[in-house]
């Protein structure tokens, strides 16, 4: 029997995700097996601790069933490799929706990471100092293969993003798309304005993302 390989991708595909080659002696790929194992082991305590690590206290309790119905439906129908772009005005609940998705995915056994884009760029830049404990590579690399990556507040700057921010975002998105791993992005900008802030290569890669619009007014003004 021949061994499933990258040269022969239609043979021996994972029967769960239909994306990656299956494990040598199992019907699923290694990633799907890991998610399944994580789900078996997850306890409420462990899941809640992980949610607290990833999500700020204001959003700890966020749940999918509190989101607008249209957003709930889109999230339910998402394919496992699809990127998502939350494009909406200020205060409409983008960060809240991401927190609700993180909660859902953690309980399903997925590994998630969340970054605030500008903060992350500052952190990676600080890794260039000799005193830093982590290298740039060590900070960016794990985000390229985590199951689900959430990037909050992309393109906050009003003018051109720095070359550094561009390279960081491009390398993350490009590598994740090549690996068919989803990235969930929130922004106050349209794809056209993101194209101006970054460039056409990024805009092109964002065209394939599923758009989720929360709609409604700025929820902060109601508080």
Ligand X SMILES: Nc1ncnc2c1ncn2[C@@H]1O[C@H](COP(=O)(O)OP(=O)(O)OP(=O)(O)O)[C@@H](O)[C@H]1O
Site residues (vs ligand X, CB under 6 A): 58, 66-67, 88, 90-96, 153, 188, 219-220
**Residue 56 binding: pick among Zn ion, ligand X, Mg ion, none (C-beta 5-8 Å cut-off by kind):** none
**By C-beta, is 19 or 127 nearer to Zn ion?**
19
Q: Minimum Å distance from CB 148 to Zn ion? A: 14
Task: Please answer whether residues 15 and 29 qualify as being in contact, where contact means their C-beta atoms are separated by less than 8 angstroms.
Answer: no
Spatial separation of the C-alpha atoms in residues 28 and 12, rounded to whole Å: 9
CA distances from 205 to 30, 79, 182 (A): 26, 17, 12
| 123-131 long-range Cβ contacts below 8 angstroms, 24+ apart | 124/164, 124/168, 125/164
**Residue 4 binding: pick among Mg ion, ligand X, Zn ion, none (C-beta 5-8 Å cut-off by kind):** none
**Residue 16 binding: pick among ligand X, Mg ion, Zn ion, none (C-beta 5-8 Å cut-off by kind):** Zn ion
**Residue 212 binding: pick among Zn ion, ligand X, Mg ion, none (C-beta 5-8 Å cut-off by kind):** none
Q: Minimum Å distance from CB 95 to ligand X? A: 3
DSSP tag of 65: G
Among 12, 21, 32, 86, binds Zn ion (CB under 5 A): 32
**Residue 92 binding: pick among Zn ion, Mg ion, ligand X, none (C-beta 5-8 Å cut-off by kind):** ligand X
Q: Does 13 help bind Zn ion (rule: CB under 5 A)?
A: no
Q: Where are the alpha helices (DSSP H) in the chain?
A: 30-41, 44-54, 69-77, 94-107, 117-126, 136-145, 163-178, 191-197, 200-206
Q: Does 181 help bind Zn ion (rule: CB under 5 A)?
A: no
Spatial separation of the C-alpha atoms in residues 181 and 173, rounded to whole Å: 9
Residues in contact with Mg ion by CB under 5 A are 94-95
**Residue numbers at the binding site for Zn ion (CB under 5 A):** 14, 16-17, 29, 32
């Amino acid at each position: 029997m021949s061994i499933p390989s990258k040269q022969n991708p239609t043979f021996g595909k994972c029967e769960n995700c239909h994306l990656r080659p299956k494990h040598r002696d199992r019907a699923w790929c290694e990633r799907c097996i890991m998610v399944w194992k994580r789900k078996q082991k997850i306890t409420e305590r462990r899941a809640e601790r992980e949610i607290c690590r990833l999500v700020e206290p204001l959003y700890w309790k966020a749940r999918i069933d509190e989101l607008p119905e249209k957003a709930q439906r889109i999230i339910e129908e998402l394919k496992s490799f699809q990127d998502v772009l939350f494009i909406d005005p200020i205060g409409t609940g983008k960060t809240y929706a991401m927190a609700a998705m993180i909660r859902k995915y953690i309980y399903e056994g997925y590994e998630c990471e969340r970054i605030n884009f500008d903060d992350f760029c500052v952190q990676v830049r600080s890794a260039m100092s000799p005193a830093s404990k982590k290298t740039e590579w060590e900070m960016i690399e794990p985000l390229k293969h985590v199951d689900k990556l959430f990037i909050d507040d992309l393109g906050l700057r009003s003018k051109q993003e720095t070359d550094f921010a561009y390279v960081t975002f491009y390398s993350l998105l490009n590598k994740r798309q090549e690996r068919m791993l989803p990235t969930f992005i929130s922004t106050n900008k349209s794809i056209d304005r993101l194209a101006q802030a970054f460039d056409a290569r990024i805009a092109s890669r964002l065209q394939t993302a599923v758009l989720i619009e929360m709609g409604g007014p700025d929820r902060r003004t109601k508080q």
